[in-house]
Amino acid sequence: MNKVVKNAEEAIKGMSDNMTVMFGGFGLCGIPENVIRVLAQTQIKGLVCISNNCGVDDFGLGFLLKNKQIRKMVASYVGENAEFERQMLSGELEVELNPQGTLAERIRAGGAGIPAFFVPAGYGTEVAIGKEEREFNGKMHILEHALTADFAVVKAWKGDTNGNLIYKYTASNFNNMMAMAGKITIAEVEELVPAGQLDPNFIHTPGIFVQRIFQGVNYEKRIEQVTTSNPK
């Protein structure tokens, strides 16, 4: 078993036009910077991207958006990106907006082998249009379908050569479920260690979900809104 690849270029081998690709992260927190950077240098286009957000104009998935590599975006909140809004309103970009918890659960379900499930979120709103509705315990629910992807690209803090992953603070977000939902899951990590060096008690994503792993370089870790308080 060898899951370790050299870098992002090697990790995305086999990715091609019109594939469905999941990208972990919430805003710019916990995004796979290395893979996005390298993908933006390829000619791969027509991608269906599943990600909670779509980066900002000059970072994250915003790079792929600017290059028009994304055909369809499945997300929950895209408010920080003017180019996104422009492409969506002009019809160049197809967009499917999901309630955030529904998006998270659709991905988890995809990875867990559950094809569909009922949730109350979105009932009575435009999200419910065309979806089966059913009452459970006196409350209305709508049917949501699982999501899977040709590739899932996630970012972790630490990983080992078996693909076990640990996230830092709030950078787990969508990464943990997306790792489960990719036919091929690529994990880029800040620190890659030999198997046996991470405490098995504290693994977030078990290695079975990860097919390719590499140690990323030059993490910028950009912050969307630096908010501080005064030292006491």
Partner 1 sequence: MGLDKNQIAKRIAQELKDGYYVNLGIGIPTLVANYVPENIEVTLQSENGLLGIGPFPTPNKVEADLINAGKQTVTYVDGASFFDSATSFAMIRGGHVDLTILGAFEVSEEGDIASWKVPGKLVKGMGGAMDLVASAKNIIVAMQHSNKGQSKILKKCTLPLTGVKCVKRIVTDLAVMDVTPNGFKLLERAPGVTVEEIIAATEGKLIIEGEIPEMKL
Binding site for partner 1 (CB under 8 A): 26-30, 52, 75-80, 84-85, 88-89, 95, 97-105, 107-108, 119-127, 157, 167-177, 204, 221-231
Q: Which is nearer to partner 1, 3 or 155 (CB)?
A: 155
Q: Which is nearer to partner 1, 95 or 203 (CB)?
A: 95
Q: How far is the CB of 186 from partner 1 (least distance, A)?
A: 18
Cα separation, 163 vs 11, whole angstroms: 13
Q: Which is nearer to partner 1, 4 or 180 (CB)?
A: 180
- Candidates 26, 58, 25, 19; CA nearest to 42 is 19
Q: How far is the CB of 166 from partner 1 (least distance, A)?
A: 11
Burial annotation 185-199 (CB, 10 A radius, 16+ → b, else e)? bbbbbbebeeeeebe
* Cβ atoms within 10 Å, residue 10: 13
Cα separation, 26 vs 136, whole angstroms: 31
Q: Which is nearer to partner 1, 10 or 96 (CB)?
A: 96
Q: How far is the CB of 228 from partner 1 (least distance, A)?
A: 5
Cα separation, 227 vs 232, whole angstroms: 16
Q: How far is the CB of 223 from partner 1 (least distance, A)?
A: 5
